[in-house]
Every structure is written in structure tokens, then in C-alpha cells.
Amino acid sequence: MKELNDPDLLEHYLGAYEIESIFNEDLRPYLALYRYDHGELICSQGDPYDYLYVLVKGKLKIFTTSPEGKTLILSFKTPLDVVGDIEYVQNTEIINTVEAVSEVHMIAVHHRYLKKFASDHTPLLKFLLDVITQKFYVKSSSLSFNLLYPVEVRFASYLLSVCFDESDALYSGKLSTGALIDAANLIGTSYRHLNRVIQHLSQEGLVERHKGFIVVKDRNGLSKLANHKNIYE
Amino acid sequence: MKELNDPDLLEHYLGAYEIESIFNEDLRPYLALYRYDHGELICSQGDPYDYLYVLVKGKLKIFTTSPEGKTLILSFKTPLDVVGDIEYVQNTEIINTVEAVSEVHMIAVHHRYLKKFASDHTPLLKFLLDVITQKFYVKSSSLSFNLLYPVEVRFASYLLSVCFDESDALYSGKLSTGALIDAANLIGTSYRHLNRVIQHLSQEGLVERHKGFIVVKDRNGLSKLANHKNIYE
DNA sequence: TATTTTTTAGGACATATGTCCTTCCCAACA
DNA sequence: TGTTGGGAAGGACATATGTCCTAAAAAATA
């Protein structure tokens, strides 16, 4: 982790995402911009709560580790998103572990100053409300989807979400082999089983295995299989 | 559904739950108190969004129905809780179906007046923020729990939550047979499988089957099985 | 009381998923 | 060039769970 002492860049992000109003004047001096590299942890579950972060560049992975040591990926995040919002409101320790997947820039504010200067700041409250309701909605859909459908369907949905994201270099309907472990953890199954499912999808002609990656062959077929739902957006 | 024209009762609820400050003076004339009887629907998924409700008496069941016709119970709610908060913030149609399990009293406000008189009312915003973060937290735990543990563990946790609720007539560690279908839908499994699990728990001496209900025999054992987690609170 | 309907428990079988382990392949390296 | 180590795919087997159907019991009804 490295603090970027670059007020212009900070300004730029605030402007680009139209979030100037969220942080009022009193708060501005306490905004910091941090950079994290691939693989770095921003915070870990159980840590005491310190900062509210706003993700303005890069990609984050949010996951939890069970007492038995299993990893469950809860989501991937891209700008604009917020980390530590639930903890800020509830005043609890960090719930999940957050890791940088790529180079990441985050605006950070210590909760001390948030409480002091912005606990009644309407734009911030509204912003948080908006972000958190969205999170809730996604989580709720995700829960239903996971309980109601088997891995094959979930993976189809996942593939559609991940492989056709324009903002990503690998939007071309491909998924690197290495990403399969993450995929398995995200949809809550084992790597072994995911392989089985891929084999099946492959027999159906929906995807194809190549060296180093798999590629979507029949986007419509997958979409049909996934009930036209993209819950991993 | 019936509107209760009882300003005193309304006042009583506002006082009892300390939520007077949430609804400011402008809003007060537009607060209504509704009564629903067992089995009545408050709203159904897909309905246009109209009211924000505050549950002040009774018990609600929140569920969703999949395109395939499967029912998944998302939660049971008791006072103090809010219905329609997510929809209000996101301005979307009703997400889930809400049904009264017992006689229910709810304070209702049309979103028209909320937007008009309270869209910047800090106490309301904070209240919503608090309620929704709690919902998110519960939902998030629930998702992890469901993906990480088998039905046996989930049911153990469910039993502990439901059977030992002091405010309920059946707190004595019993669960009526009829409630098993709901239980199955809540933890996202089939009635058939739940029966299998109960049989197993019964062999282990953790619960016992009686005519018309099952009863918890070894609360500690169940708690251990459930990893000491009560996610259905 | 006899008959029908509903509720409840479980049998039989198929599918979904997990765990452990092995094999194969390719790249890094001695 | 041969060796080694790690990643990737999948075999074998056990467990978890779903679907469909049946049997027993209880409740409702004729």
C-alpha cells in the first residue's frame, strides 16, 4: 500500500464520479488517496474498523473465510463502489476480507472524521443509502439464485457476466483457466465440481476448452440456461 | 386489510418504538395504521411500489417465488422492522412478497409524501441506513452460511432460532409439524430432504419426533452442530 | 360408521456435489 | 537432455439433495 500525494488526481476522481458533494468542505483535508497492487489486502475480516474507502480505480475481490478454512468469494467490485460502509454505519469490525485484484486506487477517510464532520451530511447519507440498498439487492438476488439453482446454471450466469465485460481485457468470451478457482469459490462450489460442469457444458456445445482458457461458443444457449439472469454483475 | 382509525394507538406505537423523530411534523398527517390478518398479503413481488411500512405488531413472512414456481422464504420479521425501504430508496417495484403470519399492525406512509416531506430528513435517513445495513448483514451471513454448510447444519441453526424465542407461544423447544414446510422453504431445501435430516438428528438424539411436532432434546448438541451460529434470528 | 381427503413420513431412485487421489502436461531448472 | 515441480483435468467413491411415488395415519365428510 502506498499513499498517493496527488491532490489533482484526487480532485479528478471526485469530479469524474460526481462525488464532490458527498464529502463536505470540513472533510476534504482528511481525504487520502491510496494505491494497492495486485494481491494486496486492503483489510481482513475481524480487523478493527478504521476507514471508509471509495473505490475509484481497479478491481477488488471481497471474500470470507470460514472457520473450516473454506474461501467464499462474495463479490468482485469495480468503480464506483464503497468498502467499509456497513461497518461505518453499524460500527462493527471488518466483516469480509478485501483484496486488490489489479492496481487499485481508493479514496480513504478515517471514520473519526466522518463521524465528526459528516454524520448528518445529507448527501453522504443518501449516497450510502443508495450504495447499500444496491448491495442488498444484489445479495438478496444472489441468495435466492444460489439456493434455487444448481452450479451449472450459476456458472452459466457467471460466465456471461464476466466474459462479456467491455471494460475488461478478456471480454472476448474467454475465461482463463487460472480464474476457475476463483469462479468456483464465487459460486460456492468446489474446483472439482466446476470442472465437471464445464465438461458437461462442453459436451452440449456451449463452451469449449482450449489450452489456458475456456471460451463461450453459444452465448444464447448459456443465457437460456441461466434463465436470462445475470446475478454476478 | 383494514385501516385502524386510532390515533392513540398510532401514537402509542410511535412512542413505544421511539420512532417519533423519524417522521417529522409535515409527515404526521399522512401516517396510517393498517391491520392485516393471518394469511393476508401486504404486497406481492412485481407490484408497483406505493407505501413504506413499519411493522409494529405481529409477524411477517417474506418470500419469493421463482419462475419455476418454487417458494423460497427469505425471512420472518417481527417488530420493529421496515418493509418497502429498499424499494423506496431505489424507486423500484416490489421485490418480494410479504404475508401476515399472525395479526399484524403496520404504520404506512405513501412514498409520495415521504419524498415530498422527508427526502432530506436526517433522522429518517439514518433510521433507514441502520435498518438496511442490518438487513444486508443478515442477508450476507445467510448467503455464506447457505453456501458453506449442508441442510443439517442450517436446520440446526434454524431450530435454535425459532424454538427458543421467548416472545412466541411455542418457545419451549418445539416445532409444529405444519411448520416444517415453511422451514424447508426457508433454508432452501425440499420437504422430503428435511424429513431425512430430522430422522438423522433424531437418531443422534438431538431432537425427537412426537405426534404433531418435533422437540429439541439436546440444545447444546444442536448449537455445536450449527457452529454456534444463529443466522435466522 | 364407512368413505374420502388431507397430512405426514418415508422408500426408491436419480442427480448434484464433495473429497481424495492420480495422471498428464508443460515449464523451470540442474 | 533429463529432472522436478506445479498446474490442470479428471477417475473413483462417498455424501447431499431432489423428484416421484407410496403407505400409514389423521381429519373431514357422507
Interface of A with B in 25-44 (CB under 8 A): none
Coil, strand or helix at B11? helix
Instruction: Give nearest nucleotide to B190 (CA–C1').
Output: D18
Confidence at residue B200, expressed as pLDDT on a 0 to 100 scale: 97
pLDDT tens digits, one per residue of A87-101: 999 999 999 999 998
* Amino acid occupying residue B82: V
Task: Provide Rg for chain B, Cα atoms.
Answer: 19
Q: Does B137 touch chain A (CB under 8 A)?
A: yes
Q: How confident is the model at residue B170 (pLDDT cuts 50, 70, 90)?
A: very low
Confidence at residue A163, expressed as pLDDT on a 0 to 100 scale: 76
Q: Looking at the predicted structure, is the pLDDT value of residue B166 above 70? A: no
When pLDDT is averaged across residues B35-42 and rounded to a whole number, the result is 93
**Would you say A62 and A73 are in contact if contact means Cβ atoms under 8 Å apart?**
yes
Q: Which CATH superfamily is domain B2-146 in?
A: Jelly Rolls (2.60.120.10)
Residues of chain B positioned with their CB less than 8 A from the CB of A96: 140
Q: Judge: A132–B136 Cβ closer than 8 Å, yes or no.
A: yes
- To 5 degrees, how large is the angle CA A150–CA A153–CA A159? 135
Q: Does B86 touch chain A (CB under 8 A)?
A: yes
> Between the CA of residue B183 and those of A6, A123, B110, B180, what are the distances in Å?
55, 41, 33, 5
Residues 6+ apart with CB under 8 A from B210: none
When pLDDT is averaged across residues A2-11 and rounded to a whole number, the result is 96
- A96, A91, A98: which is closest to A112 by C-alpha? A91
Q: For strand C, is any atom closer than 7 Å to the CB of B190?
A: no
Confidence at residue B26, expressed as pLDDT on a 0 to 100 scale: 95
pLDDT tens digits, one per residue of A126-143: 999 999 999 999 999 999
- A206, A199, A209, A208: which is closest to A224 by C-alpha? A206
Q: Judge: B148–A85 Cβ closer than 8 Å, yes or no.
A: no
Confidence at residue A37, expressed as pLDDT on a 0 to 100 scale: 92
pLDDT tens digits, one per residue of B96-152: 999 998 899 999 999 999 999 999 999 999 999 999 999 999 999 999 999 999 999
Q: CA at A226, C1' at C14: how many angstroms apart? A: 22
Confidence at residue B174, expressed as pLDDT on a 0 to 100 scale: 84
Write out the E strands in B58-186.
60-65, 71-77, 81-83, 97-100, 104-110, 174-176
Q: Looking at the predicted structure, is the pLDDT value of residue A169 above 60? A: no
Percent of chain B with pLDDT over 70: 97
Q: Which CATH architecture has domain A149-225?
A: Orthogonal Bundle (1.10)
d(CA B72, CA B132): 21
Residues 6+ apart with CB under 8 A from B225: B152, B153, B156, B206
Instruction: Give nearest nucleotide to B176 (CA–C1').
Output: C8
**Would you say B63 and B74 are in contact if contact means Cβ atoms under 8 Å apart?**
yes
Confidence at residue B202, expressed as pLDDT on a 0 to 100 scale: 96
**Would you say A176 and A168 are in contact if contact means Cβ atoms under 8 Å apart?**
no
Q: Judge: B90–A134 Cβ closer than 8 Å, yes or no.
A: yes
Confidence at residue A171, expressed as pLDDT on a 0 to 100 scale: 55
What residue of B is the nearest CA neighbor of A135?
B136
Q: Judge: A89–B137 Cβ closer than 8 Å, yes or no.
A: no
d(CA A88, CA A110): 10
Residues of chain A positioned with their CB less than 8 A from the CB of B73: none
Q: For strand D, is any atom closer than 7 Å to the CB of B57?
A: no
Please give the DSSP secondary-structure letter assigned to residue A57: E
Q: Which CATH architecture has domain A2-142?
A: Sandwich (2.60)
Q: For strand D, is any atom closer than 7 Å to the CB of B123?
A: no
Q: How confident is the model at residue B171 (pLDDT cuts 50, 70, 90)?
A: low
When pLDDT is averaged across residues B152-172 and rounded to a whole number, the result is 76
Q: Does A21 touch chain B (CB under 8 A)?
A: no
When pLDDT is averaged across residues B5-17 and rounded to a whole number, the result is 97
Instruction: Give nearest nucleotide to A150 (CA–C1').
Output: C16
Confidence at residue B16, expressed as pLDDT on a 0 to 100 scale: 97
Q: Does A138 touch chain B (CB under 8 A)?
A: no
Q: Judge: A140–B89 Cβ closer than 8 Å, yes or no.
A: no
Q: For strand C, is any atom closer than 7 Å to the CB of A142?
A: no
- A95, A87, A140: which is closest to A114 by C-alpha? A87
Q: Where are the domains of chain A?
A: 2-142, 149-225
Q: For strand D, is any atom closer than 7 Å to the CB of B157?
A: no
Nearest residue to nucleotide D17, by CA–C1' distance, is B193
pLDDT tens digits, one per residue of A99-134: 998 899 999 999 999 999 999 999 999 999 999 999
Q: Judge: B122–A120 Cβ closer than 8 Å, yes or no.
A: yes
Coil, strand or helix at B101? coil
Q: Does A227 touch chain B (CB under 8 A)?
A: yes
Q: Judge: B143–A146 Cβ closer than 8 Å, yes or no.
A: yes
Q: CA at B192, C1' at C9: how many angstroms apart? A: 9
Q: Judge: A85–B126 Cβ closer than 8 Å, yes or no.
A: no
Instruction: Give nearest nucleotide to A211 (CA–C1').
Output: D8
Determine whether B220 is exposed, middle or buried from the number of CB atoms within 10 Å of its CB (0-12, 13-18, 19+): exposed
Residues of chain B positioned with their CB less than 8 A from the CB of A86: 133, 136-137
Confidence at residue B67, expressed as pLDDT on a 0 to 100 scale: 87
Percent of chain B with pLDDT over 90: 83
Map grid coordinates 425471512 to a residue: B75
Q: How many helices (H) and strands (E) does chain B have?
A: 8, 12
pLDDT tens digits, one per residue of A205-227: 999 999 989 999 999 999 999 88
Confidence at residue A170, expressed as pLDDT on a 0 to 100 scale: 47
Q: How confident is the model at residue A69 (pLDDT cuts 50, 70, 90)?
A: confident
**Would you say B211 and B176 are in contact if contact means Cβ atoms under 8 Å apart?**
no
d(CA B69, CA B74): 15
